[in-house]
Structure 1
C-alpha cells in the first residue's frame, strides 16, 4: 500500500491530508513510513481518550467514586464507548500484544517471564524505577530487563517520566518514574476486581497520579504542544511529581489524592520555585474549587489540569 501512496502524493503535491492511516501495529507501519513516505507524512500519536474527549458533561459533578470508576475502566474506546466487558477486553489486549507484537521481537523468548516482568512494573507504578531489583525478582539479567523495558516503552504500554536536570547530559543516567499509558490496563494487570477495591487499596494515590500524568501527555500529543514532561528531585530530596519544560519557562505540578491540603503539601514547591525561578506551581487534587495557597501556587481540581497548559 505505502509505495502506491507515495506515487499518489508525489503526483498530487498540492493536496494535503488525502489519506489517514491508523493502527496499533506500529512496528511494521513505522518501518514502512520511514522507507517510503519520508517527508510526505505527518505523524500523530494518539493515546486513550482525554477528559475533554470522553466527558461531555460537567466534570465538576464527578465524585471521587466516579474518578476511580473511570480509572478502573480506562480510556480505550472499546470499554469507554462500546461498553465492552473489561476483563474480556484487557485479557484479549494483553494476549494479542504478547502473541502478535512481542513475538516479532527476537529478544523475548519466554513470554511467561515477560508477563511477570510486566506485572512487577505495574506493582511499582508511580515509583522511581529500580531495574536491578526487578531483574533479580524476575530472574533475568539487567541487560534483558533494560531491553524489555525499552520494548514496553516503544510500544506505548509504559511511559517513563525522566528526571529534570539543568545539565541535559545527566537526565538519562538518573532513575525515571514508571507509569502505564492506560489505567484500565494497569488495574487489570494488578488484578483489582473493581474500582472500589482499587480506590481503597495501597496504590490508589499512585494510579490517580498515573491518570493525571497521562492526561498531560495526551494534551501534549493531541494539541501538538511543544513542552517536555519531567519529574524533579534534587539532592535535598525536594520533589515534585511533574515539571513541564516549555523552554522559556517551567511549570510545577504536584498531585495529591486528598481534599484537605496542609501547608506541608506545598513546602517543597516553594523551595523548588526559588531554585528554578518557576513562576507557576499547582497542586492537582480532589479539591472542588480552585484555591490560592501562596502568591504563585494554586490548588486545582484534578479535572482542571488541562487549564494549566493553556
Structure 2
C-alpha cells in the first residue's frame, strides 16, 4: 500500500469549514480531492456523496432542493460541477436559511463554480481552495515558503548546495504530480494511465458543459500546447496547425482551461515605456502529462540538447510555482514578460504592493551571467520595485550574480530536500 502524503492545504480546509458555511475545493481530476474530502468526512462526520455515481447524480438533478435538505451536515459533495447551477442554487438557499458554519464541503474538477454568476451568488458564504497535483514540497515533506522567502529575504537562498542531479530533475519532470502514477515504473504503464486520464476528461468532463464535435481535434490541440510551452498561444498558428477555425480554437482553449488541463500566464503589463505582449502563454498543468502528450521517454529526455527539455522544464517550474502560490501566505500573481524590443522574462511574480520577483528557467547545470541579462535589464527599469531576479537551473550551487540577481537550483523551490530513491 502506498504512503498517504499529507496535503498542505488540509489544515486550511478545516479552518475554513469551522468558520464558513461552504468550502469549495477546485482542482484537476486525480489531484487528490476525493481523498481530501474523505479525510474531512472522517474528521467532521456528516455525509460524503459523489456525483460520479449515476444514481446519486440523478437524484441531485431531479430534485436538488430535496437532495440538499434531506442529508446530514456537513454534506460533502464530490464532483459538484456535474450537478449544474440548479444544485448550487439549492445549496445557496440552504445556507441562507441557516447560518450554521461548516454545512457544505464541495469539490469540482472544472472551474464551473468560478463562473461570475455562480461565484457572486456564493460571495460571503464560501471559501475557495485550489488543490493541484502533488507538489515536490509535499512529496519530500519540504518547506512551502519559497515565495515568502524570495520576496522577504532573497539573500537567504544563496549558499545552499543541492543534491539533486540532472537525472533527478528529468525524473521529476516525467513523473509529474498525479498520485495515481507514482507506483508505475515504466514509461509504457505511465503512458497508458495518461491516455485514459486525458480521454476521460476530453470525452466526458468537457462534453458535460460544452458541445465538442471532434474530440480528436481537441486532443491534437492539447499536443500543440505541450509542444509550444513558453511560447504565446497565437490563435492563428494553433488554428493552422490543428486545422481548425480561430473561433473553434478560442472555445477549445477555454474548455481545456476550464477543466484544469491547461494553465494560462498573462502578459505582465508595467509602465516600462515598451509594448508588452498581450497574448497569454498556455501551459499543460502537469509536466508528466506534457511528456506523454509529446511521446517523450526517459531515454529521449536524457539525450543532450533534446529540444523538448526546455519547454518541459518551464512547464514543470510553472506548475510548481502555481502549487506554491495556492499554499502560500503571500498573495502574488504569476505572469510572463515580453516586449517589442525582445526583452523576455519567463515568469514574473508580482505582489499586491507592486513588488516584483522575476524568474528565468534554464535547462543548464551551469548558466553564466548571460542567462540573467533580461533580469538585469528589468532591475534597472523597475528600481526599488524589483526585489529579486532568479535564474533557476539544473546545477548544484546557489550563487549571487550581483545586485539582487540570484542563480539557484530548481530544487530551491522545495528547500533542496531529496526524495530517497527518487531515480531508483
Whether these two folds match at TM > 0.5 is yes
Cα-to-partner distance string for 1:112-148 (whole Å, 9 max, x where unaligned): 1221122222211122222201101222111111111
Q: Alpha-carbon deviation of 1:12?
A: 6.2
1:211 aligns with 2:277: no
Hey, what's the Cα distance between the residues in 2 that align with 1:281 and 1:29? 33
1:63 aligns with 2:165: yes
Hey, what's the Cα distance between the residues in 2 that align with 1:243 and 1:38? 29
Number of residue pairs matched by the alignment: 303
1:150 aligns with 2:254: yes
CA contact (8 A) 2:275 2:340 kept: no
In structure 2, the partner of 1:289 is 397
In structure 1, the partner of 2:387 is 279
Q: Alpha-carbon deviation of 1:246?
A: 0.4
CA contact (8 A) 2:287 2:316 kept: yes
Distance 1:299 1:29, change over 3 A: closer
Cα-to-partner distance string for 1:263-294 (whole Å, 9 max, x where unaligned): 21112211111112213111111231210110
In structure 2, the partner of 1:50 is 135
Of residues 313, 326, 346, the one that matches 1:221 is 326
Cα-to-partner distance string for 1:199-251 (whole Å, 9 max, x where unaligned): 43311011111111111111111236411111112232111111111032111
1:270 aligns with 2:376: yes
Hey, what's the Cα distance between the residues in 2 that align with 1:30 and 1:272? 35
Hey, what's the Cα distance between the residues in 2 that align with 1:292 and 1:35? 46
In the TM superposition, 1:100-111 aligns within 5 A as 100-111=204-215
Distance 1:245 1:29, change over 3 A: closer
CA contact (8 A) 1:198 1:204 kept: yes
Q: Alpha-carbon deviation of 1:9?
A: 4.7
Gaps of 5+ in 1: none
Q: Alpha-carbon deviation of 1:255?
A: 0.9
Distance 1:164 1:31, change over 3 A: closer
Report SS of the residue matched to 2:347.
strand
Distance 1:257 1:173, change over 3 A: closer
Whichever of the two has the greater Rg, that structure is: 2
Structure 1, 202-211 or 223-232: larger mean CA deviation: 223-232
**Structure 1 ranges of 4+ moved more than 6 A:** 28-33, 170-173
Gaps of 5+ in 2: 1-59, 70-74, 76-90, 144-160, 416-424
Hey, what's the Cα distance between the residues in 2 that align with 1:112 and 1:173? 30
Report SS of the residue matched to 1:279.
strand
Cα-to-partner distance string for 1:53-108 (whole Å, 9 max, x where unaligned): 0124899332211211121111011113x548412321110110111112224442
CA contact (8 A) 1:205 1:257 kept: yes
CA contact (8 A) 1:220 1:227 kept: yes
CA contact (8 A) 2:133 2:177 kept: yes
CA contact (8 A) 1:252 1:281 kept: yes
Report SS of the residue matched to 1:61.
coil
CA contact (8 A) 1:285 1:302 kept: yes
Of residues 268, 272, 288, the one that matches 1:184 is 288
Hey, what's the Cα distance between the residues in 1 that align with 2:395 and 2:211? 46
Structure 1, 183-192 or 158-167: larger mean CA deviation: 158-167
1:74 aligns with 2:176: yes
Hey, what's the Cα distance between the residues in 2 that align with 1:152 and 1:171? 29
Hey, what's the Cα distance between the residues in 1 that align with 2:276 and 2:250? 13
Q: Alpha-carbon deviation of 1:150?
A: 1.2
CA contact (8 A) 1:51 1:215 kept: yes
Distance 1:251 1:124, change over 3 A: same
Q: Alpha-carbon deviation of 1:171?
A: 10
TM-score by length of 2: 0.64
CA contact (8 A) 1:164 1:171 kept: no
Of residues 219, 226, 239, the one that matches 2:344 is 239
Distance 1:55 1:196, change over 3 A: farther
CA contact (8 A) 1:135 1:141 kept: yes
Report SS of the residue matched to 2:335.
strand
